């Protein structure tokens, strides 16, 4: 049985990873913001299969929240997260505080252009800069052989793949398929915000997206199919829809008709809770 060790300082993380490397152990990294569910734990299990040592990180990154977003309310339970990570055999948890990650006069940010301008980037302009900066730091701090990210945040996965390639960071990025609840809702720490009635509405999102994917696969023009799907989302109880788009999954640019590699992307609110999801089309 593994015993999970928790470190909070970059220097301590570096000392442990140096020992792992001296023992010729491969290292897998699983970055998270905590409030762990089976989606996160699936990333950790994938990392266990591929690597000798697995490091998870827990850091609620203030740089990826705008002042009006849910940073203060974001669910936090380090003890439960640590117990769950220990159960799946994670070796080390890096849980720095904000001052450790962003010391006074922190002045550098990582910006990935193009891929960050569409979908979530268009409506959350601060978001991918925050993600790219913190992920670059975590990769350079741990220097893992592989790092694991969920396809649930597909745009984030593509942004991270691009920054690792562009900056020659020597880590392989591994994408892990979305883990879902029984009714198809993508697992998310933010699902905890939903009331029971809202949770019932949320189940309509994967259902409508799957039906929309089936229609798009027939080669139908996307615009009317997407318009009909948006109106179904509203009728099911969704409030604002940030986007529902058929895109090329490499460029993340909208395409008028499905052709490989096409993916359907959605972001919509129920009350104040914003849900995102995506499904491969062809």
Beta bridge partners of 112: none
Rounded to whole angstroms, the Cα distance separating 54 from 93 reads: 9
Q: Does residue 152 interact with ligand AMP by CB under 6 A?
A: yes
Rounded to whole angstroms, the Cα distance separating 124 from 274 reads: 12
Q: Which of 174, 176, 202, 229 binds ligand AMP (CB under 6 A)?
A: 176
Rounded to whole angstroms, the Cα distance separating 201 from 40 reads: 24
Q: CB of residue 189 vs ligand AMP: minimum separation in angstroms?
A: 5
Q: CB of residue 65 vs ligand AMP: minimum separation in angstroms?
A: 11
234 among known catalytic residues: no
Q: CB of residue 224 vs ligand AMP: minimum separation in angstroms?
A: 30
DSSP notation for 133-168: HHHHHHHHHH--SEEEEEGGGHHHHHHHHHHHHHTT
On the 0-12 / 13-18 / 19+ scale of CB atoms within 10 A, 216 is buried
Task: Decide if 247 contacts 118 (C-beta within 8 A).
Answer: yes
Q: Does residue 186 interact with ligand AMP by CB under 6 A?
A: yes
Of 82, 79, 80, which Cα lies nearest the Cα of 93? 82
Range in contact with ligand AMP (rule: CB under 6 A) among 174-182, 215-223, 231-239, 255-263: 174-182
Region of residue 119 (phi > 0: left; psi between -120 and 50: alpha; otherwise: beta): left
- Exposure on the CB side of residue 38, measured as CA atoms within 13 A: 9
Q: Which one is catalytic: 24, 37, 40, 234? A: 40
Per-residue contact track with ligand AMP, 221 to 260, x per CB under 6 A? Answer: ----------------------------------------
Residue nearest to ligand AMP (CB): 150
Q: Which of 92, 112, 120, 179 binds ligand AMP (CB under 6 A)?
A: 179
Nearer to ligand AMP, 188 or 212 (CB): 188
Per-residue contact track with ligand AMP, 48 to 77, x per CB under 6 A? Answer: ------------------------------
Nearer to ligand AMP, 66 or 231 (CB): 66
Under DSSP, the state recorded for 173 is E
On the 0-12 / 13-18 / 19+ scale of CB atoms within 10 A, 13 is buried
Q: Does residue 188 interact with ligand AMP by CB under 6 A?
A: yes
Nearer to ligand AMP, 235 or 272 (CB): 272
Q: Which of 41, 43, 47, 134 binds ligand AMP (CB under 6 A)?
A: 43
Contact residues toward ligand AMP (CB under 6 A) are: 32-33, 39-40, 42-43, 149-150, 152-153, 176, 178-179, 186-189
The residues assigned a catalytic role are 40
């Amino acid at each position: 049985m593994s015993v999970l060790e928790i470190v909070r300082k970059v220097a301590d993380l570096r000392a442990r990873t140096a020992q792992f490397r001296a023992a010729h152990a491969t290292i897998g990294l699983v970055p998270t913001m905590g409030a762990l569910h089976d989606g996160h734990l699936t990333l950790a299990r994938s990392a266990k299969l591929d690597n000798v040592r697995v490091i998870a990180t827990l850091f609620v990154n203030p740089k990826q929240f705008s002042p009006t977003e849910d940073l203060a309310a974001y669910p936090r339970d380090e003890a439960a997260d640590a117990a769950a990570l220990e159960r799946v055999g994670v070796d080390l948890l890096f849980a720095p505080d904000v001052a450790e990650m962003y010391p006074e006069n922190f002045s550098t940010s990582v910006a990935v252009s193009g891929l960050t301008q569409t979908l979530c980037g268009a409506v959350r302009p601060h978001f991918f800069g925050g993600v790219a900066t913190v992920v670059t730091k975590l990769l350079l701090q741990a220097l893992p052989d592989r790092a694991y990210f969920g396809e649930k945040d597909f745009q984030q996965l593509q942004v991270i793949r691009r920054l690792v390639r562009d900056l020659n960071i020597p880590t392989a990025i591994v994408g892990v398929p979305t883990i879902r609840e029984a009714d198809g809702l993508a697992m998310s720490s933010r699902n905890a915000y939903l009331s029971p009635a809202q949770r019932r509405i949320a189940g309509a999102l994967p259902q409508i997206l799957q039906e929309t994917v089936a229609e798009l696969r027939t080669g139908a023009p996307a615009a009317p199919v997407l318009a009909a799907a948006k109106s179904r989302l509203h009728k099911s109880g969704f409030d604002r829809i940030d986007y529902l788009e058929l895109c090329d999954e490499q460029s993340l640019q909208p395409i008028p008709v499905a052709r490989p590699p096409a993916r359907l992307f959605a972001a919509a609110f129920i009350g104040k809770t914003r849900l995102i999801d995506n499904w491969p089309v062809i």
